[in-house]
Structure 1
Amino acid sequence: MAKKLVEVFTAGCSICERTVKQVKDLTQYSSEHDVVVYDLNKQCDTNECEDKAKEYGVQSVPSVTINGKLMDCCSHRGVNFDTLQAEILGH
């Protein structure tokens, strides 16, 4: 399995935190994945999180990208965890 960079964009809300937990649960047993969480409410020391959100086309939170691509599971209303699991684990 190829290494993946999974980035989660949140606003620190309870729905976002569930998404962060779900992503971490899906990736916890694999050293093949790096997970980075960006809380857009807290912003970044640099503009990195805002710049990435714009670059990836993040329109709502929570949103998840893998290797710089906004996942289809996050393009609509809420996160579809079955689709996200398939993307992360390759099922």
Structure 2
Amino acid sequence: MEFNEYQEAANRTLYGTEQVLTNCALGVAAEGGQLVDLIKDYTFKGRELDKTKLTKEMGDVLWYLSQIAEWADIEFDDVAKDNILKLNKRYPDGFKK
């Protein structure tokens, strides 16, 4: 699935009025926190990394990010492309320690 296709499909479940941007920004933080908790529990508490839950939380973050882009009239493909261009410029030979 292409990012723009995802953005359009995800927009079907967007709700809210003028508070959409704030709701989505808070959603990124909340879902990101849940993602961090899964990783923290794996890293520091010795729990197994539940890939199903990890995938779900990553998807939730992706949904909110796509809807912020939608609100701002930014194609989600452009977000991904611009990020890769920035990384390639910053690390032309890849990231090495």
Same fold by TM-score greater than 0.5: no
What range describes the TM-score normalised by the shorter chain of this pair? under 0.3
Greater relative contact order (Cα 8 A, min sep 6): structure 1 or 2? 2
- Normalising by structure 1, we get a TM-score of 0.26
Question: Whose radius of gyration is greater, 1 or 2?
Answer: 2
Structure number with the higher strand fraction is 1
Structure number with the higher helix fraction is 2
